[in-house]
């Protein structure tokens, strides 16, 4: 799943949910729920994350 990929990516890069929240304006509670598979990221949230952290959505798609 995309949220699992992102959770591991941010863990490897030592990027906190606080920093993700600060750059994307997505609340930490939403991020936490998403990264723990209790809610799905919206397309808009995924795009915000990809833009803020310069992630290639096609690469993520191929990986998962």
Confidence tier at 6 by pLDDT (50, 70, 90) = very high
Residue linked to tokens 């959505």: 57
pTM: 0.89
Q: How far apart are the first and last CA of the chain?
A: 6
Please give the CATH superfamily to which domain 2-63 belongs.
lambda repressor-like DNA-binding domains (1.10.260.40)
CA distance 15 to 7: 10
Between CA 20 and CA 23, with CA 22 as vertex, the angle to 5 degrees is 65
pLDDT digits (tens, 9 = 90+) for 33-42: 999 999 999 9
Instruction: Provide the 3-class DSSP secondary structure of residue 27.
Output: coil
pLDDT greater than 80 at residue 64: no
> 15: left (phi > 0), else alpha (psi -120 to 50), else beta?
beta
- Per domain, the residue ranges of the chain are 2-63
């Amino acid at each position: 799943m995309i949220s699992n990929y992102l959770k591991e990516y941010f863990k490897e890069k030592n990027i906190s949910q606080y920093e993700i929240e600060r750059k994307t304006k997505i609340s930490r509670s939403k991020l936490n729920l998403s990264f723990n598979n209790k809610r799905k990221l919206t397309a808009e949230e995924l795009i915000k994350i990809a833009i803020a952290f310069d992630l290639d959505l096609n690469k993520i798609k191929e990986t998962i």
